[in-house]
Amino acid sequence: RFSSTAAGVAAMLRCCGRRAAALLRRAAGSRGASGHEQDHGPGQPLEPSLLRFLVCPLSKRPLRYEESTNELINEELGIAYPIIDGIPNMIPEAARSTRKRPPAEDPEQP
């Protein structure tokens, strides 16, 4: 069975084809009856073949996988979606900004 997160992602990807849903089912198959990951920790990487199907929900553009942070990056918008237990969390509110904020301007400077 799918965990609730995997089921949500599978439903979102249904329009992209049966292969993406099959990959998610296979990934969810390593979960026990409780729905928790058995063999992998929270740092489980993304299945590489999913990148062909995944696009940013905001811009509809392809994403880049960043292995060091285990995130999907949208360079154009400057946001990163986390990957949790091998499943991308592509809810826009879950994304973090990848752009550095400019230093606050000092009103005392001439």
Would the pLDDT of 59 be above 70? yes
The pLDDT tens digits for 82-98 are: 999 889 999 999 999 99
Q: 17 or 96: which carries more pLDDT confidence?
A: 96
pLDDT tier at 49, thresholds 50, 70, 90: confident
Share of the chain above pLDDT 90, in %: 38
So what's the pLDDT on residue 11?
A: 57
Question: 54 with 81: CB under 8 angstroms?
Answer: no
pLDDT tier at 25, thresholds 50, 70, 90: low
Question: 85 with 4: CB under 8 angstroms?
Answer: no
Other C-beta atoms lying within 10 Å of the C-beta of residue 89: 17
Which structure tokens are listed for 85?
């237990």
> At which residue do the structure tokens 């998610």 appear?
24
pLDDT tier at 13, thresholds 50, 70, 90: low
- CA 11, CA 1: separation in Å to the nearest integer? 14
Domains with residue ranges and CATH for the chain: 4-97 (2.20.25.10)
The pLDDT tens digits for 62-82 are: 999 999 999 999 999 999 999
Q: Detail the DSSP E strand segments found in the chain.
A: 64-66, 71-74, 79-84, 87-88, 96-97
The residue among 51, 60, 96 whose CA lies nearest residue 78 is: 96
Question: 51 with 65: CB under 8 angstroms?
Answer: yes
